[in-house]
Structure 1
């Protein structure tokens, strides 16, 4: 025991900055000869053994007092080394660096024998753990922990500050202009991901490594260093959720919800201590409040559709602004199907009347339409369709009302097929609505071209009296010209639907007219105004909403002049 004390006194005094002015007192014990650092920790261990011996066998011995003095001196030195190591090696100890390296298994079993084998950056972790183990074992754990908490909390707080994390109370957020709050939300979305993927994760690894010898110490340290910052982060979305709820804020609410949900595995893992359960609770509470806000906004969105009060039909029967707005909104909602599925899972749809079975399919169907999110989004589209039915009635021309419905439902189907709605609503839903488009297009043809169809004989190749032939040509000329002129301002924005309607009209009109034309163009030449090939040209000009450019008058006059020159 005497020898242990003598060896300890020699080495500890050598590194005592208060009693000597040699180079060792001002340099770092762990940055130079690592063998000497190993010996320094070893003599402290032996000194502690000597102290235990004298306490048990000769508590009044002056050697015990001498040993205690040496131990205090050694602890001050290790305190200084620990502080300097934490302060000067932030390049290696910042959470991002820690989180991207696999030091945990190495550092958790670090011992004096590992010191020669450590790599340049790895020994920083090992040394911190060895010093912490030594100080805790020597009864100086409080001093070690105090230094660690001060240094590491400043690192975490500084990192959060640079990420733009700030404490914003509910009154401050509620008074904030939405444009500014949206900027804050975008900043938060970046900050929370970085904080959990690198900052808190790296800090948890470092705490677990440095204080692996004491579960209580590592929990206390990590909690005091990171709990406050994590609570500040998770309090922000809850406060945002308590602000005024309008449909246009929905997607930022879902962004916040999705971010917390995506980070939940990290939250549970990093803040797994009992003392950090408040962080987990705050995360859950924020998600609950955000979910409630999203539900409220869905209700408000449906109400906004119902309250649309435009009283005039859209010129040309094109896509109504309400259709564009609602479908763009719902398509964006589909991008958040995962989060929305959670939000509406236990929120059944309640309406005054049951949903039409023809709309949703039979109850036995295994179609995705049975999922809560699919039912919710399909219902919103059904509300839109009901509003469109009402707007179609505003048109004085019935055929234009059918064209309007065909256009708008086509837009709905295309939007569904070209967005994530296709995975939610399913193929059966899309096919049913495509059938509705065809039905309305057929109704448009029947109503809009009925006089043209009626003007042509049922059997154009049969023997028909000349007077009746001439009358048929005259009726066809008038009805075809009237239909083309009247519909020259009508539109079909979707190219596929436009081509389908034109092809269908051409198939019903041109072949019959051609046969009639070929049989009687000579005998009734004065009444013939259109050649069969011209009809397709006139039809091809329709549905662009160009007004006069699609009219027949200019074409027909040109054709008549050409026919006169030919005669």
Structure 2
């Protein structure tokens, strides 16, 4: 049984070995086939490589020869092109000669510039390759002729489309809102976009080719436009229609309300002041958190009399010219950006405005000289006009600075200096005038002054006083400008510690307060000097009292005390004390009358209504002297004027309280005494009569 199992196992092993041998045999056959295929492929590739090598050896000489032929062709073509270029340089002058002499035509400048470019290239070729040739001279001459023709075309084109503005157009330009579109400008409309483009092309070509004559041409032409526009406006200002022009119908579809020139100026400068205030407010608000209040007094709320520039039309007209210049320069700068290369802007802009600014500076000098002559004639409204104009020029200064370059700003700065110098001279002359004690002070004295003198007959407020107060009241309206003028004078700035005053507004008020203090001090001394021209003490005191009282009330009414208090805190109290002192002196002037009836102890006493013979004469003399003094005083003082009703009634009351009680006591004792055969000759006035006489004082109609 075991033998059988062993036999089966052997047979099974032999079967498996046969299968493996079969697989191995197949694998060997396949390897042999792959080897044969590899040898065959290698043989094919080797044969192909040999054949490619032979082909390269055959083609490479042909390729090299072809490349050589191509290079020779290129060289030949380049040579031909160079020859054509050189020939074109020789033919350039003949080809473009007619076109150069005919010149360019408007709207078709490219052909002419192409011709000039051709001449320029020819000129450069001959210059570097054959500088001694006749062709160089011919081409250069024709090129220069072409450039001159181009300059002439440039000038003609500018002149054709540049016209001075009519006065109504310039005024319309001045009075439009600051945010109006620039396309509303008539000056820009004169130069259409196509014209500006052509001028720009010419300018850039000339600048690139180092031909800078166009700078002078453009500057001169546009300078003439600005100058003549302003001159036309000046001529219009001399006409009778000046100041009453109506604005044209604008793009907003409505007519502007008709306003006077002063009203329009007021509106313009009010807007500028509000803009400056808004800017200052924003700065302060950012730093402190507090905002300034905007000015709400627009022109719609102003009365017609508020529009005028203190009555000086010359200064008003000059401000319009300044505004016109500013507007024109803004638009000229816009034109400059469209036409002139950026590298030439500064040079051109300085030239085109120089003559116009020079004209305005000379006009400012003429106006300020005229104002100084008016001030010499005591026409102080002209001085106030200078301060108003100066304030407006300062408001206009930022806009002018933005419109101008550094040289122009320096040139226009002379206008501000002339106005400041004129204002300073006006202030100095006014102060000197108040010091002066002559017949002609502020204005020509009226018939109310004493014959051969310059004091009023009725001892009322002197014209010097009223005019001085009028002047300093109006100075307060310009405290900011005047403060800036006086700060330049060391005699003012050294008397005030300006560093302790933080705000610029208070510093200006303090400086003005110091000036007013000087004026009032000199006025007080002049009043004292003038009162000595009266013959009696009562009139002297009343004259001073009228003037001092008027000064104090005017200062209180106009709030000038607040300004003066910066340098003289006790100003109001000093005036009040002086008024009380003058009232006391006036009461004492009645002592010549009262001394005859007081004291009663010095008079003889009647016994049973009778007095001694020798005492009768004393009573007669006392009554007679009292009557005489009373009549003379009432005669003198009845014609004296005390304009202030409270002061007048107070003086009458003081007189009555001072005289009536004493006369009443004297009258009750001696009126019924038998001191004369004709007592009515001496007892002329009863106490109520004396009271009525005193009440009728200061009334020249009684």
Whether TM exceeds 0.5 here: the answer is yes
Quick one: structure 1 residues 340 and 346, their matched pair in 2 at CA, closer, same or farther if it must change by over 3 Å?
A: same
CA apart distance, 1:502: 1.1
CA apart distance, 1:204: 1.6
Identify the match of residue 479 of structure 1 among 618, 626, 641. Answer: 626
- Looking at structure 2, the residues matched to 393 and 375 of structure 1 have their Cα atoms a distance apart, in angstroms, of 28
* Alignment pair present for 1:209 and 2:339: no
Pairs within 5 Å for 1:83-482: 83-87=159-163, 94=170, 96-97=172-173, 100=176, 127=193, 130-131=196-197, 134-135=200-201, 139=205, 149-164=219-234, 188-197=314-323, 199-213=324-338, 214-238=341-365, 246=376, 248=378, 252=382, 255-256=385-386, 258-267=388-397, 268-270=400-402, 272-287=404-419, 289-290=421-422, 293-294=425-426, 297-298=429-430, 300-301=432-433, 304-305=436-437, 315=457, 317-320=459-462, 323=465, 327=469, 336-349=478-491, 371-393=510-532, 395=534, 397-417=536-556, 421=560, 424-425=563-564, 429-449=571-591, 451-452=593-594, 455=597, 467=609, 475=622, 479=626, 482=629
CA apart distance, 1:437: 2.3
Q: Report if aligned partners of 2:609, 2:672 keep a CA contact under 8 Å in 1.
A: no
Give the RMSD, CA atoms, in angstroms: 5.8
Q: Report if aligned partners of 2:483, 2:507 keep a CA contact under 8 Å in 1.
A: no
CA apart distance, 1:221: 4.2
Q: Report if aligned partners of 2:165, 2:186 keep a CA contact under 8 Å in 1.
A: no
CA apart distance, 1:130: 4.9
Pairs within 5 Å for 1:36-115: 83-87=159-163, 94=170, 96-97=172-173, 100=176
Residue 277 (structure 2) aligns with: none
Residue 52 (structure 2) aligns with: none
Residue 557 (structure 1) aligns with: none
CA apart distance, 1:539: 1.8
Quick one: structure 1 residues 230 and 467, their matched pair in 2 at CA, closer, same or farther if it must change by over 3 Å?
A: farther
- Looking at structure 2, the residues matched to 159 and 103 of structure 1 have their Cα atoms a distance apart, in angstroms, of 22
SS in 2 for 1:371: helix
Q: Report if aligned partners of 2:390, 2:420 keep a CA contact under 8 Å in 1.
A: no
Pairs within 5 Å for 1:528-567: 529-545=684-700
Name which structure has the greater RCO, CA cutoff 8 Å, separation 6+: 1
Quick one: structure 1 residues 266 and 139, their matched pair in 2 at CA, closer, same or farther if it must change by over 3 Å?
A: farther
CA apart distance, 1:216: 4.8
Q: Report if aligned partners of 2:513, 2:563 keep a CA contact under 8 Å in 1.
A: yes
Q: Report if aligned partners of 1:227, 1:276 keep a CA contact under 8 Å in 2.
A: yes
Quick one: structure 1 residues 254 and 312, their matched pair in 2 at CA, closer, same or farther if it must change by over 3 Å?
A: closer
Residue 90 (structure 2) aligns with: none
* Alignment pair present for 1:492 and 2:619: no
**Any stretches of 5+ residues in structure 2 without a counterpart?**
1-98, 127-142, 236-310, 442-451
- Looking at structure 2, the residues matched to 312 and 120 of structure 1 have their Cα atoms a distance apart, in angstroms, of 59
- Looking at structure 1, the residues matched to 186 and 525 of structure 2 have their Cα atoms a distance apart, in angstroms, of 71
Quick one: structure 1 residues 204 and 474, their matched pair in 2 at CA, closer, same or farther if it must change by over 3 Å?
A: same
- Looking at structure 1, the residues matched to 428 and 317 of structure 2 have their Cα atoms a distance apart, in angstroms, of 27
| Number of aligned positions between the proteins | 454
Taking structure 2 as the reference length, what is the TM-score of the superposition?
A: 0.49
Pairs within 5 Å for 1:22-41: none
1:418-475 per-residue CA deviation (whole Å, 9 max, x = no partner) reads 668556436953453244223212321232256338736899xxx9966599998995
SS in 1 for 2:697: coil
Quick one: structure 1 residues 312 and 239, their matched pair in 2 at CA, closer, same or farther if it must change by over 3 Å?
A: closer
1:40-72 per-residue CA deviation (whole Å, 9 max, x = no partner) reads 99xx79x99xx99xx9xxx99xxxxxxx9xx99
Quick one: structure 1 residues 75 and 444, their matched pair in 2 at CA, closer, same or farther if it must change by over 3 Å?
A: closer
